[in-house]
Amino acid sequence: MFQGETAITIDEKGRMAVPTAYRDLVARDCGNRLVITYNPFEAGSLYLYPLKVWERVRDQVNALPKVKSTSRVMQLKLVGAAEFVEPDGNGRFTIPASHRGAVGIERKAVLLGMGEKFELWSEQAHHEQIRQVITDADLSDELLDLQL
């Protein structure tokens, strides 16, 4: 289970280090294999899945009707853009240049543990998203029942 927010620095080769708090978990529970792909719902971020979780998500997305435009967008953004990444001995892996460029990740990023996956945000997009959530708080009925 991944949770928490970590400031990440991307080096000149496009590599990021898995935070030390997650390295053993990624090695043990993920077989040191992750899948990186686009976040289909919000600009400025990528999803980073453990391999087993990814395979379940991939199969669900591929089972969607291919003739529906919303399904096709999900298939393109998630499955079509998916890349396998494996941390090296120092816990670093390379984020594909096309992925970094598409979501605006440069030197500074934010890694969010979101349960079964991580979200990797450009620092700017993350800050904008947080500010927007705070100012545009529109609590649906489901959220009002949460005991926070």
Full set of structural domains in the chain with CATH: 2-144 (3.40.1550.20)
How far are the Cα atoms of 11, 20, 48, 96, 141 from residue 116, in angstroms, in the given order? 26, 18, 9, 22, 25
- In tens, the pLDDT along 81-98 reads 999 999 999 999 999 999
- In tens, the pLDDT along 93-124 reads 999 999 999 999 999 999 999 999 999 999 99
What pLDDT is stored for residue 78 in this prediction? 94
In this prediction, residues 6-12 reach a mean pLDDT of 97
What pLDDT is stored for residue 146 in this prediction? 60
What pLDDT is stored for residue 95 in this prediction? 98
What pLDDT is stored for residue 39 in this prediction? 95
- pLDDT-derived band at 134 (thresholds 50, 70, 90) equals low
* Alpha carbons 81 and 94: distance in angstroms, whole number: 15
What pLDDT is stored for residue 93 in this prediction? 96
SS3 category, 65: coil
In this prediction, residues 18-42 reach a mean pLDDT of 93
